[in-house]
Structure formats: structure tokens, C-alpha cells
Amino acid sequence: MDNKLEKVVSLCKRRGFIFPGSEIYGGLRGTWDYGPLGAEFKFNLKEAWWDYMVQDKENVFGVSAAIFMNPKVWEASGHTQAFTDPLVECKTCHERIRADQEEEIKLHEESHKLKKEKFEWTEPKKFNLLVEAKLGVVEGDKTTVYLRGEITQGVHVNFKNVLDSMHPKIPFGIAQIGKAFRNEITPGNFTYRSREFEQMELQTYVRPDEKEAMAVFELMKENRMKWYTDLGMSRNKLRFREHASDERAHYARAAWDIEYETPFGWKECEGIHHRGDWDLSRHSKFSGQDLSYFDPETKEHFIPWVIETSGGVDRALLFFLLDAYHENEDEKRIVLKLHPKLAPYKAAVFPLLKNKPELVEKARTIYRNLKESFNIAWDDRGNIGKRYFSQDEIGTPYCITVDFQTLEDGTVTVRDRDTMKQERINEKEVLSFIKKLV
């Protein structure tokens, strides 16, 4: 299918998933606003992550830390230093390379030439990804702070608070979902590279032992891949990729990405990183606080190591959209085959005819009952066929139609988005039918 990305972008705008940020003012590069269906989809995605990564687990705790943090946090974490390299970025594939690494630049250009692709570099820039903000009311006396470049540090600075309040036994995890901000040189590919985006992360604290750390690392890779495929993402469009040593972030001792095959190439969706004791040691040093863990079994104090998994909410959402987008030429319909857990609406309810009050009243009753448990769409415009196609395009798994037979025997038609098959079930079973699927 040609131009799949453009088609998805257009669907997102047309049907209220994602709009360009500040659009009526001409937009703001690298920012996106989620519309009614996109906000619902994003909420479902984050809920599915939180359920799987936090609530289903016995030893994982959630936090929601402030976005503004003491600027010393970013000195300790290494971000104020480690992101100030002079970089050039390839305008074709957005790979960034340090401007002084001539050999690597040459190799990169060769790889494009081989594929008969053009390449062009941005001007070198001394470049820090952190976004600055000014905090305070008195002009001239404002403090420069950073909008967080990763949500991770909000977890590590609360390590001691979680230890003292929850008394977890190692190994344990602290999770967070929230916004991060980066001064990306070239935002692009729709929401793929944005300047404001959301991350979902789990930091697992383990004993400082390579074997134990790598066992958690491997388990995390497996778990995270399973999460995407359990929610319907095609396994053959997903792969693992190990970072080369010169590609790893300053904090990482090992790093693997989960990548998705997009129309613009294999792209990072999530990173699994072995951060060693980098974060806690540095925060301990910079804050002067003891951030060690006391193991009551071995009576030892130590700084735990961290295995992190860090996924992008917006990237996952975009990849789920790309994966779910299907065009059916024969039936002339567009279908978003989203997992029911992710779909913005779990079902749509229609009266067969808009001008028959007894049908409308019955359908409204079913709609209101279902709406107490799920997000449900109502549609009484146009003919039934058009309503089906309209719901297919936004990924609604089931359409429930109230017709004249409903008034006689209490059954409704349930039509499946993917197979287009219809069956009649009793109106009293509709709620449990949808519950089972979601």
C-alpha cells in the first residue's frame, strides 16, 4: 500500500485522532494535539501498559513526579553535559552523527549511495536536547530550569522515598508514565520524533550482580515484546536491535531497542537499558544523600543497579495505528483493526431508522446502559452501511443495531468489524459479550 503514513495522518486529522499542535496559529513544529478519539486511544494504551507493568505485578510501584526539577538533577544525571556535542543530522534518515567523526559520516553517506538514496546534512550545531524554562515571578530573578528530557530522573530522585514508604524487597520496580521534552533538531515522520512526547518507563532495581542484572534484562526484553504482540501488533513487523557501544547513551552499559518496520524504515519503539549504578551513585554524590539499599537477609548496604525499559507512548500509538490500518479494495472500506482494549469506542449502537421513535428509544436505552461501563458511540446518521464503514475506519470492534425484530423478541444485531459477520444476540447479553472481549 503506497503512502501508508500519509493515509494514517489524513485519517487521524479527519476522524479526530491527532491534529497539528496550535494549528489555527500555523502550528508549532514537533508538537501534536490528540483529538477526542486520539485522547481516548492514548488513555487506553497507557492503561494497558499500567495494568500489565504495575498493577499485575507484586513488586512494582508507580509514581508521578513533577516535570520541573531542581536543575542539579540534570547535572547529576549527566544530561547537561552529555547532550552538548556538535551534531549533524542526515535529512533522509534522521541519524545524527558527531560533526567531527568524519569516518562515520563517510560510511553513512556510502550506505545511502548504495541504496541510490540522496543524502544531505544539517549544519553542525552545538546541541543540547534539554528544553529550558524560566521559573519565578520577579523579572531578573528567575531560575532557569529544564523540562525533563526523560521521565527517568523523577523516579531515581524518589528512590529513597519509595524505600522508606513502601519497604520493597529487592529486586523491585518503580514505574512512571509522563511527558518528556527534547529540542529535537529535525522533528518529523508525524508524531515519531516530536519535541513534546510521553514516555512509559519501568526502572527495576537489582543487586549489583551482572548475572542477576542480565537475567532481568532478558526477561524484560521478552515481556516487552509480548506486550506489543498481545495487543495485536504483528510480530513480523517487530524486531530487537542491539546498540553498538558507540551508539549507547551515556548511562547505558547495554542497550537493546524494540523496533517496528514503518513505511519510513525500521524505527525504535522502546529501549531496554542496563543503567548499572549510574543514576543512584550520581544522585547520591550530587545530593549528599545516602541512596543505598540495606538487604536485611545479607545485612549488606549497596547501591542497586538499574534495568530500565523506556517506551514512547506516542510512538507505540503511531505504530499500533500503522499496523492496524487496512484498506479493502473490494469492499471499498478502510478498517483500523485495533485490539478492543485499545479501540477508542468498544462498540457503536444504532437504531435502524432515525425516524422511528420506538427504535430510537430502545437503542438509547441499550446505549446508555453500555455507556456506564465503556466508551460507546451513538450514530443515527445516513444508512446502516455508511455507519458501519464510519465505525470501521475508527476501529470500533462491534456495531449493535436495534431493528424491528428487537421490539418483538429482544434480540439485536451484532456486527464484527474484521469479519463483517452479523449475529443476533439477546440485548441482555450485549454487556457481557463486550466485557469478555475487552
Positions that interact with ligand GAP (CB under 6 A): 150, 152, 182, 184, 193-194, 197, 199, 201, 268-271, 308, 310-312, 314-315
Query: Which C-beta is closer to ligand GAP: that of 312 or that of 344?
Result: 312
Query: Which C-beta is closer to ligand GAP: that of 252 or that of 352?
Result: 252
Nearest-approach distance from CB 49 to ligand GAP, in angstroms = 12
Q: Report phi then psi at 59, rounded to 5.
A: -120, 35
Nearest-approach distance from CB 99 to ligand GAP, in angstroms = 20
Calpha distance 174→155 (Å, rounded): 7
List Cβ neighbours of 258 (8 Å cut-off, separation of 6 or more): 221, 224, 225, 228, 238, 239, 240, 268, 269, 270, 271, 272, 311
C-alpha cell at 95: 541519524
Query: Which C-beta is closer to ligand GAP: that of 308 or that of 427?
Result: 308
Query: Which C-beta is closer to ligand GAP: that of 311 or that of 397?
Result: 311
Nearest-approach distance from CB 233 to ligand GAP, in angstroms = 14
Query: Which C-beta is closer to ligand GAP: that of 199 or that of 413?
Result: 199
Nearest-approach distance from CB 411 to ligand GAP, in angstroms = 46
Calpha distance 275→205 (Å, rounded): 10
Query: Which C-beta is closer to ligand GAP: that of 12 or that of 412?
Result: 12
Angle, vertex CA 83, rays to CA 82 and CA 87, nearest 5? 125
**How many angstroms from the chain centroid is the CA of residue 99?**
31
174 burial level (CB within 10 Å; 0-12, 13-18, 19+): buried
Count of residues making up the chain: 438
| Residue nearest to ligand GAP as judged by C-beta position | 312
- Over its C-alpha atoms, the chain yields an Rg (Å, rounded) of 25
Nearest-approach distance from CB 311 to ligand GAP, in angstroms = 5
Query: Which C-beta is closer to ligand GAP: that of 181 or that of 345?
Result: 181
Calpha distance 281→304 (Å, rounded): 9
Nearest-approach distance from CB 219 to ligand GAP, in angstroms = 18
Query: Which C-beta is closer to ligand GAP: that of 1 or that of 244?
Result: 244
Query: Which C-beta is closer to ligand GAP: that of 172 or that of 251?
Result: 251
Calpha distance 280→258 (Å, rounded): 26
Helix axes 357-371 and 430-437, enclosed angle (nearest 10): 40
Nearest-approach distance from CB 197 to ligand GAP, in angstroms = 4
Query: Which C-beta is closer to ligand GAP: that of 160 or that of 275?
Result: 275
Angle, vertex CA 36, rays to CA 32 and CA 39, nearest 5? 60
Query: Which single residue is written with the C-alpha cell 514503518?
Result: 262
Nearest-approach distance from CB 271 to ligand GAP, in angstroms = 4
**How many angstroms from the chain centroid is the CA of residue 100?**
34
Nearest in space to 184 (alpha carbons), one of 173, 195, 199:
195
- Dihedral sign of CA atoms 368, 370, 376, 381 in order: negative
What letters, b where the CB count within 10 A reaches 16 and e where it falls short, cover 340-352?
bbbbbbbbbbbbb
List Cβ neighbours of 327 (8 Å cut-off, separation of 6 or more): 1, 7, 333, 334, 335
Nearest-approach distance from CB 193 to ligand GAP, in angstroms = 4
Nearest-approach distance from CB 142 to ligand GAP, in angstroms = 27
The helix/strand/coil state of 107 is helix
